[in-house]
Amino acid sequence: MHRQAISLLIITSMALIWAVFVVWRMPILQLERKHWIPDFITAVPFALCLGCGISVLIRLFWANRKRLKAVLRPNAGRFISAVLMGLLTPYAVVNGVPIFWFPLNSVFRHEALIFLAHTTAPWIVGGQIYVIFGNYAGLGVQAAEGINGLALLTVPYALGWYPICAIIISGVRSKLMRVAIFNLMFWAAVSGLVLWGGVSRLSL
C-alpha cells in the first residue's frame, strides 16, 4: 500500500468508528450515566487512535497476505508476545486508568489498595500479579481462584492477540518500530474500551 492509500484507510476507519459511536454507542452510554463518555468532539482522538491501530493491522496483513502460513507458524517469540499482550490487555477504563482483570464476583473491601496498585504499576505484568495474588488474598480469595481466573481470561486474550503479534513480528523488521506498533495496539484497545463502555468511576 502507498502512503496515500494508508492515509485514506486511516481516515475511513476513523470516520466509520466515530459514526458508529455517535449513532449507536453514545446514546446507550448516556442512558447508563457513566462517569464520563466522549462527545462528538472528544470521540475524535479515540476514533483516530483505534482507526490507526486497525489500519496498521490491515496494512500488515495485506503486505503479508501471500505468506500468511509462514507468518502464523508458531514460535517462541510470537507465543511469548501473545501471552504478554493477553496479560496486559485491560478490560475497562476506571477513573481514566486502564484496569486489568480482577474477580468480578468478589466483594471489594480494599478498593483504594486495588486502585493504587493499578495506578502505580499500570501495564506491568508484575503489577497485575501483585494485585491478583496480593490484594485478593486479603479479600479472602484463594490463590487457586486467582490462578484459574488469570488463566481463563489470559488464554482467550492470548489466542486473539496471537495473529496480531505474529503479523507484527514477521512483517516489521525494526525492533523499535515493533515496540511502537505494540504500544499503538495497546492504546487502540484502550480507545476501543472508552468508545464502547465510557469511563467508569471508582469512589475511594
95: number of Cβ within 10 Å = 16
* pLDDT value of residue 119: 45
Q: Average pLDDT for consecutive 10-residue bins of the chain (204 residues)?
A: 82 95 93 86 96 95 92 90 82 71 42 45 43 43 49 74 93 92 90 90 62
Per-state percent for the chain, helix, strand, coil, to nearest 5: 70, 5, 25
Residues near 155 by beta carbon (within 8 Å), at least 6 away in sequence: 86
Decide if 86 contacts 80 (C-beta within 8 A).
Answer: no
* pLDDT value of residue 157: 79
* pLDDT value of residue 9: 93
Residues composing the chain? 204
Decide if 191 contacts 99 (C-beta within 8 A).
Answer: no
* pLDDT value of residue 32: 82
C-alpha cell at 77: 517469540
E runs forming strands in the chain: 92-94, 97-99
User: Measured between alpha carbons, how far is 37 from 197 in angstroms, rounded to an integer?
Assistant: 8
* pLDDT value of residue 151: 58
* pLDDT value of residue 47: 97
| Phi–psi pair at 139, nearest 5 degrees | -85, 0
